[in-house]
Amino acid sequence: MTKTTEATVVFTPSGKRGSFAQGTSVLDAARTLGVDLDSVCGGRGICGRCQIIVSSGDFAKFGITSRGDHLSPFGPAEKQYAEKRGLEEGRRLGCHSKILGDLVIDVPEESQVHRQVVRKRAEARAIEIDPLVRLYYIEVREPDMHDPTGDLERLKEALRDQWDVEVGAADLHALQSLQPALRKGDWTATAAVRGDGALIHVWPGFHDRAFGLAIDVGTTTVAAHLTDLASGEVTASVGAMNPQIRFGEDLMSRVSYIMMHPGGEVELIAEIRTAIDKLATEAAREAGIDADDILEITIVGNPVMHHLVLGINPVELGGAPFALAADGAQLVTARSLDIHAVNQGARVYTLPCVAGHVGADAAAVVLSEAPYQRDEMALIVDVGTNAEIVLGNRHRLMACSSPTGPAFEGAQITAGQRAAPGAIERVRIDPETLEPRFSVVGSKAWSDEDKFAKVAARTGVTGICGSGIIEVIAEMFLAGLLTTDGIIDGTLAGRTDRLVQQGRTWSYVLHRGEPEIVVTQTDIRAIQLAKAALYAGARLLMDRMEIETVDRVVLAGAFGTHIDPKYAMVLGMIPDCPLEHVQSAGNAAGTGARIALLNAGARAEIERVVRDIEKVETAVEPRFQEHFVEAMALPHKTAAYPNLATVVTLPEPQTAGPASDSGGRPRRRRRG
């Protein structure tokens, strides 16, 4: 080959470069150099995934000095693609544009297989797409009596020859549908092949839709996020109540149900699987796609939910030593979990569980927040009936769970309710008048504004949700209505008629209406117990880590999304930390599930990380009880909350007399 027929090509952003014979297609050049340029159709001008841009400008820095139009003219295949599916100005199909001279070629983000998914929070872990399942368009040799190979063997040959992909076993259903598919596609087909070589589906002709479902199975709700496996985008998010609720609101009551009704796990397993199957149907319908296009599922959940989805009786999780059936990640077929509204070849990956009380949901949060990639010391808290707490950085990671009980979710609270329209979610109390104002879910109007009447007429004021109970108690404390011991100070009854006495304790009337909404001493005790458990868990890990402060606090989960970090700190739920470093991670468990859906390496990563997490069992740690008792008090001027003190005025330490302490003894034994 003479020098005049060779051209130098540089790809950006990778910077990879090489010399190619004139007439080489850009796609072939990219493949030769290992440049990340996507293609599903294998260079046939069908899929449009290999779009590139010829860079203009001075390329002396790349050693390219000659200038001119060095790419073959826009040809008929590109024209046809542009007419049929649209092609942005300046974009070319890499497979149908030929190198005619020195060039700098830019591979835009969308044309990279391993592109990154854009995330809103800057501090969140980057998600790089590295799919578990890929689609390959192929042309298959027709059968020949003189060479009687099977259709599957000729399909494998096509994948080997046209894609350099080696298929191992074919799923049975893929084999069953193979012959009609090949004939319908006139010996062209698109094969879905997993990274491990399993052939899971064959479509006739060209097909380029591949989706996955990231599912977060909570005790109360189940959420499914339909995700485009090529772009990483969430196409549809759907949710439903966990139908197991009829067996008990919280985890332990469901486990108790099974203990008392041997074989009862079958019902709970069926309920949750049916719910997941329905969500899959709903997500596909909402996105307007075929169920067959859903090729992969990831599932996260607490250990009990994790076990039930996998069909494992969770009774061992109901008592010490809280033994998991398996802590590792599992990969099974969707069908084996009775999930039918997806491709028959779809697999389900469950993330690893950390420990008997720290589930695959916590693993997913860890994957999403990736504290193990950072130097800063992060405290990550996912509040549910149990709080799952993770502390650490790239050097060391530990986790525990703490029995907060359901108070943060509004349960066991006199006027408590779920976060639904009409539930009080924001509260302010005037420290002078001790009069409250509040807003309800579904509106931003405050109760002392004119427009609130309209809101109230629509939704009513029905109760207090989790974030509302946090705020009202914190505001009561800041307004001086509570002692640092959490006792409602009846001596203020002279200043406000909102304090009413019931036996030996006082209550605060937040809303006079039907129903009347009152915060009782018992409510405050319930929240104190919950927050003390949460704080004690965090503190226990900090002891182990031998640190006094953390650099960052991440509040994960629905509770973390709705709570105001300031009030969480006023209550002393979390240790002191600069308020701007207290963040809500939103649905981090769901995000972690989505990362595991999109990235094969992330699975290996979280499996390794979870193995290395130091697991701390609060139930057998004597210091947990000590921290718990200490944490019953509310943060005050002499407590270790310097950052908080810069934001709010913390009261002087004050404790109520022994007479008012009747309801306030820390219920240590009940929690242990």
In the complex, the residues that contact a copy of itself under the rule CB under 8 A are: 142-153, 169-170, 172, 175-176, 178-180, 310-313, 316, 320-328, 330-332, 336, 353, 355-356, 615, 617, 619-620
Nearer to a copy of itself by C-beta: 564 or 617? 617
Q: What is the rounded CA–CA span in Å between residue 99 and residue 122?
A: 39
Nearer to a copy of itself by C-beta: 126 or 172? 172
Q: Which residues contact 503 (CB under 8 A, 6 or more apart)?
A: none
Nearer to a copy of itself by C-beta: 73 or 321? 321
Q: Are the CB atoms for 255 and 317 separated by under 8 Å?
A: yes
Long-range contacts of 415-418 (CB under 8 A, 24+ apart): 415/463, 415/464, 415/510, 415/515, 415/517, 415/518, 415/519, 415/523, 416/463, 416/464, 416/465, 416/466, 416/469, 416/523, 417/462, 417/463, 417/464, 417/465, 418/465
Task: State the minimum distance, in angstroms, from the CB of residue 423 to a copy of itself.
Answer: 37
Nearer to a copy of itself by C-beta: 323 or 453? 323
Burial of 601 (0-12, 13-18, 19+ CB in 10 A): exposed
CA 498, 501, 506, 511 torsion: positive or negative? negative
Task: State the minimum distance, in angstroms, from the CB of residue 373 to a copy of itself.
Answer: 24
Nearer to a copy of itself by C-beta: 69 or 196? 196
Task: State the minimum distance, in angstroms, from the CB of residue 175 to a copy of itself.
Answer: 6
Q: Are the CB atoms for 373 and 386 separated by under 8 Å?
A: no
Task: State the minimum distance, in angstroms, from the CB of residue 146 to a copy of itself.
Answer: 7
Structure tokens at 415: 């006027």
Nearer to a copy of itself by C-beta: 118 or 320? 320
Nearest 10 degrees: CA dihedral of 617, 619, 624, 628? 130
Task: State the minimum distance, in angstroms, from the CB of residue 352 to a copy of itself.
Answer: 9
Task: State the minimum distance, in angstroms, from the CB of residue 376 to a copy of itself.
Answer: 27
* Beta partners for residue 227, in sequence order: 212, 234
Nearer to a copy of itself by C-beta: 29 or 616? 616
Helix, strand, coil abundance in the chain, percent, nearest 5: 35, 25, 40
Task: State the minimum distance, in angstroms, from the CB of residue 235 to a copy of itself.
Answer: 29
Task: State the minimum distance, in angstroms, from the CB of residue 324 to a copy of itself.
Answer: 4
Looking at residue 438, the DSSP 8-state letter turns out to be: E
Task: State the minimum distance, in angstroms, from the CB of residue 271 to a copy of itself.
Answer: 17
Q: Which residues contact 606 (CB under 8 A, 6 or more apart)?
A: 329, 351, 352, 363, 364, 366, 367, 592, 596
Nearer to a copy of itself by C-beta: 26 or 310? 310
Nearer to a copy of itself by C-beta: 172 or 241? 172
- β-pairing verdict for 51-54 and 17-21: unpaired
**H/E element, 228:** strand 221-228
